[in-house]
Amino acid sequence: MKKVAHSKVVRIALLIGVVFALLPGDLRASGGSPMPRPSGGSSSSGMPAAPPKTPEEQAVDYYNAGLKLRDKALALQKEAAQASNEKDRAKLEKKAQQEFDKAIAQFRKATEKNAMFHEAHSDLGFALRKTGDYPAALQAYDRALSLAPAYTPAVEYRAEAYLGLDRVEDAKQAYMVLFAGDRGRADELLRAMKGWVEERRAAPGSLTPDALQEFSSWVTQREELAGQTPSVSELQQRQW
Amino acid sequence: MVVPAAHPPPPAYEWRLPPGFPVPRVPADNPMTTAKVDLGRRLFYERALSGNGTYACASCHRQELAFTDGRARAAGSTGELHPRSAPSLANVAYGATLTWADPRLTRLEDQARIPMFNEHPVELGLFGREDEVLGRLRSDPDYPGMFAAAFPGGVASSDDAAPPGDPDPVSVANVVRAIACFERTLISGDSPYDHLLYKDDAGALSESAKRGMRLFFSERLHCSRCHVGFTFSGPVAFEGARPIAPTFHNTGLYNLGGDGSYPEDNPGLYGITGRAEDMGRFRAPTLRNIALTAPYMHDGSIATLAEVIEHYARGGRLVSSGPYAGDGRDSQRKSDLVRGFDLDDRGKADLVEFLKSLTDRSFVSDPRIAAPARSGAPAPRGPR
C-alpha cells in the first residue's frame, strides 16, 4: 500500500520535473533569486577584519547557496529529460535528486538562522516538492505564506504540492487567488494542472474518474476565460 | 515667491478596486482624498450648480441608469437638446479619452467644465455666472467647511484667477477638482460576469449567457477587439500603462449620400480633425451595465440590444428612408472589423444574455455614490 503510493509520488515528481524542464527558464525557479546580504555588516577593503556575520546575513548565505544547488538540480533534470536512453535518464535524475537534497539542507539552515525569511521557506518547499515530499513541502509553503501572504510564488507552488496530494479544491482556490493577483503565475499553475490531469489519467490517484473529469473540464473552462481576459500587464503594453 | 503654509500630505487614498482593476491614473495636481471625494459627490448632485437652479450633473448621469439619462439625446437645464447621448460614467476614471469622440479631452477636471459652461448646447448653463454660483455655495451652511477641509491650502491653483492671497477655497477650479475625484470612485466591477471570472462562480451566468460570452470573444464576431478588457471599452489609461494613441471607429451606422457621411451634427472624430477618414468615428463605449443604458449609440438611434446586434450582424445599418437614408453596410468609411456575420436567433439571444451579465447591481444601488443627505434637510431624491 505504502509502496504503491510512494512509487506514484516519485513518478509524479519525475513528470513535474519534465514539465518544468520544458518551461522557459525564468518560469522554472520558484521566484528566488540571489539575495544581497543585509546591509550594515559589509566592510570596505581598507578595514582590517570583517565583523562576524549576523544570523540574518548567515541565513542569506545559506539561501544563496541553496539557490545554486537548486539551479544545478534543475539543469540536471533538464538534461535527464533530453537523455537518449533510459539508463542515462535515471542516472541524471538521481543526481538531480541528490542536488535537491543538498539544496534542502541549505534552505533549512537558512530558515533556522532566520525564521522570518519567507523566500527561504518557500524555496525549501520547492526543493522538498521536487523530491516528492509533498507533506513537508506544504508545511514549508504554509510557513512562507503565513509570513508573507501575498508572496505569489509560494501560492503557486503550494498549489502544485496540493496537486501532488490530489487536493484539487485547494489547488483551484490557489488558482483563483493568482488569477486576480498574478496572471503570469496563474497561467503557470494552469499549465501544471493540465500536466497533472494527463498524469492522473495514466496513473489514477485517489480521485475517482468522474472527479478527475470534472477537474479537467474546470481547467478547460478557466483556460478559456483566461484567454478571453487580457491581464493588466497586457493592457499596459497593448497597441490599441 | 510666496510659499503657502505647509500642510502635511494627506494619507494615501484607499481605492476599493475590484479584482482585475488596476489603479486609476490621477493627475499630480489633484490627488485623491476622502474630503475631496465627499465634496465632489455633493457637488455632482447639486442643483445650485446650474444657472436656473434646476439641474445637476446627476440630472443627466443618474445612478440607477449606471449614470446615463435614459434619453436618446441629453436635454440641458433649459430644455435644449444635446446632439449626443449621455454616456455611462462607470469606470470613467480609466477613460484614455473622454466623451464620444474627442482625442484632446483626457482629464476629468477639464471635462467637467464643459457641461458647466457650455453655451451650445446649454447643459448646466453657468456661462458668465461663475460668481453667482460660487456665491450660492459660499452662503450654504455646509459648503465653506467642506471646501476648507478638501482644500486646506486655500487658493489652490494658478488657473483659478483668484486674487493673490485670497484664502477662499470656494473656486471653480476646486469645484471641478472635487467632482473629478468623486467621478474616479465610480467603479463598476461586480457583475455576474465578474463573479464567474474572479469568484469561480460557475452559476453566475446562465448557459445561454455563457454561449453568448463565447460569441462575444470569438474571432468571428470581433466584439472584444474594440470593447476591450476590464472596462469593455476603447483605450484605457491607468497607473503604469504606457501612453497610447486614442482609437475611434466607424461602425457603419450611417452612409448619407453614399459617401460614408454621418449627420451634420454628429460627424464623430471628423468634427475635430476635419480628415475625411475620420468621418463617423467614435470611441467604443463601455459595455458594462449596458442593459441599463438604452437607447444606444452616440445619438441614441438604436433602441434595444437586439437591434444593436442586428446592426453588427448586418455589417452596418440600413436607413431606408428619410433625411438619413443610406446603407451603412456599403460605407467606405466603415471599420474593417465590422464585416457582418451569420448568427441564428438563438445566437443573437445568447449574445444579449451575455451583455446582460455585465450589469452590476451593487454599483447602481451603492449608497456611497448616491445623492448624499443634506444637513438640516431631508435627503433629496436624485435630481430629475
Measure the N-to-C terminal CA separation of chain B; round to a whole number of Å. 47
pLDDT tens digits for range A209-235: 999 999 999 999 999 999 999 999 899
Q: Mean of the per-residue pLDDT values for chain A? A: 86
pLDDT digits (tens, 9 = 90+) for B291-323: 999 999 999 999 999 999 999 999 999 999 999
For chain B, which residues make up each domain, given as ranges? 34-187+363-369, 192-360
Please indicate whether the domains covering B34-187+363-369 and B192-360 agree at the CATH topology level.
Answer: yes
The mean predicted confidence, pLDDT, of chain B is 92
DSSP string, B311-346: HHHHTS-EE-SSTT-EEGGG-TTS-TT-------HH
Asked if the Cβ–Cβ distance from A236 to B200 is below 8 Å, we say: no
Residue B285's region, left for phi above 0, alpha for psi from -120 to 50, else beta, is beta
Please, which residues have CB within 8 angstroms of residue B9's CB and are 6 or more apart in sequence?
Answer: none
pLDDT band at B6 (very low <50, low <70, confident <90, very high): low
CATH architecture designation of domain B192-360: Orthogonal Bundle (1.10)
DSSP single-letter state for residue B14: -
Question: Could you tell me which residue, A238 or A212, shows the higher pLDDT?
Answer: A212
Euclidean distance between CA atoms A55 and A42, whole angstroms: 14
Across A32-57, b (16+ Cβ under 10 Å) vs e yields beebebeeeeeeeeeeeeeeebeebb
Q: Same domain for A156 and A139?
A: no
User: Domain range spanning residue A201?
Assistant: 150-223
What percent of chain B lies above the pLDDT cut of 70?
91
Quote the number of domains for chain A. 2
pLDDT digits 0-9 by tens, B61-90: 999 999 999 999 999 999 999 999 999 999
Which tens digit of pLDDT belongs to each residue from B246-268? 999 999 999 999 999 999 999 99
The answer to whether residues A163 and A113 belong to one domain is no
How do B318-319 and B326-327 pair as beta strands? Answer: antiparallel
Coil, helix or strand for A191?
helix
Residue B9 has pLDDT above 70, yes or no: no
Distance CA A177, CA B47 (A): 44
What is the rounded CA–CA span in Å between residue B242 and residue B261?
A: 34
Q: Which fold has domain B34-187+363-369?
A: Cytochrome Bc1 Complex; Chain D, domain 2 (1.10.760)
Task: Compare CB distances from B20 to A180, A236, A237 and report the shortest one's residue.
Answer: A180
* Residue linked to cell 433602441: B303
The reported pLDDT for the residue numbered A39 is 57
In the numeric block, the cell 455655495 is attached to B137
- B102 close to B247: Cβ distance less than 8 angstroms: no
User: Residue B74: what pLDDT?
Assistant: 96
Quote the ipTM score: 0.87
- Minimum CA–CA partner of A173 in chain B: B200
pLDDT mean over B33-51? 97
Whether residues A107 and A185 fall in one domain: no
A161 and A105 in a common domain: no
Judge if A135 and A165 occupy the same domain: no
Set of cell numbers at residue B95? 477613460
Q: Which of A179, A180, A228 is opposite residue B217, by nearest beta carbon?
A: A228
pLDDT digits (tens, 9 = 90+) for B357-377: 999 999 999 999 999 987 654
pLDDT at res. A36: 74
Give the residue among B227, B282, B273, B225 at the shortest CA–CA distance from B252: B282
Residues of chain B in Cβ contact (below 8 Å) with chain A: 19-20, 22, 96, 196-200, 202, 213-214, 217, 224, 228-230, 234-236, 238, 240-242, 244-247
- Whether B198 sits inside 8 A of A180 (CB atoms) is yes
Is residue B230 exposed (0-12), middle (13-18) or buried (19+ Cβ within 10 Å)? buried
* Residue B129 clears pLDDT 90, i.e. is over it: yes
Q: Does A228 contact B198 at a Cβ distance shorter than 8 Å?
A: no
Same domain? A212 vs A159: yes
Instruction: Evaluate whether residue A95 is within a structural domain.
Output: yes
Burial of B105 (0-12, 13-18, 19+ CB in 10 A): middle
pLDDT (0 to 100) of residue B10: 62
- Whether the per-residue pLDDT at B3 is higher than 80: the answer is no
- Same structural domain, A183 and A130: no
Predicted confidence (pLDDT) at residue A15 exceeds the cutoff of 60 = no
- Measured CA to CA, the distance from residue B79 to residue B83 in angstroms comes to 13
Gap from B158 CA to chain A (nearest CA, Å): 33
8 Å CB contact between B180 and B112: yes
In a domain, A41, yes or no: no
**pLDDT tens per residue across span B168-226:** 899 999 999 999 999 999 999 999 999 999 999 999 999 999 999 999 999 999 999 99
A134 with A58, same domain: the answer is yes
CA distances from B73 to A168, A191, B67, B84, B301 (A): 53, 49, 14, 5, 9
Rounded to a whole number of angstroms, the distance between the first and last alpha carbons of chain A is 58
Q: Are residues A62 and A135 in the same domain?
A: yes
Q: Considering the domain boundaries, does residue A26 fall inside one? A: no
Whether A150 contacts A158, CB under 8 Å: no
Q: For chain B, what percent of residues have pLDDT higher than 90?
A: 87
Q: Which of A148, A183, A208 is the last residue of a domain?
A: A148
Shared domain check, A175 and A95: no
Residue of chain A with shortest Cα separation from B237:
A236
Buried b (16+ CB within 10 A) or exposed e, B15-49: beebbbbbebbbeeebebbebbbbbbbbbbbbbbb
Average pLDDT rounded to a whole number, residues A125-148: 95
Comparing A41-50, A162-171, B43-52, B103-112, which segment has the lowest mean pLDDT?
A41-50
Tell whether A73 is covered by a domain: yes
- Does any domain span residue A197? yes
Query: How far is Cα B230 from Cα A232, in angstroms, rounded to an integer?
Result: 9
Strand ranges in chain B using DSSP code E only, listed in sequence order: 318-319, 326-327
Please give the average per-residue pLDDT across B47-53, as a whole number.
94
Q: Concatenate the DSSP letters of all residues of A115-162 into one string.
A: TT-HHHHHHHHHHHHHTT-HHHHHHHHHHHHHH-TT-HHHHHHHHHHH
Please, which residues have CB within 8 angstroms of residue B172's CB and are 6 or more apart in sequence?
A: B113, B116, B130, B134, B160
Residues A58 and A76 in one domain: yes
- Determine the distance in angstroms separating the CA of A15 from the nearest CA of chain B, rounded to an integer: 28
Say whether both A168 and A211 belong to one domain: yes
With CA atoms as reference, the chain A residue closest to B20 would be: A180
Nearest CA of chain B to the CA of A177: how many Å? 8
Is pLDDT at A82 greater than 90 in this prediction? yes
C-alpha cell at B125: 448653463
CA separation for the pair B241, B73 (Å, rounded): 33
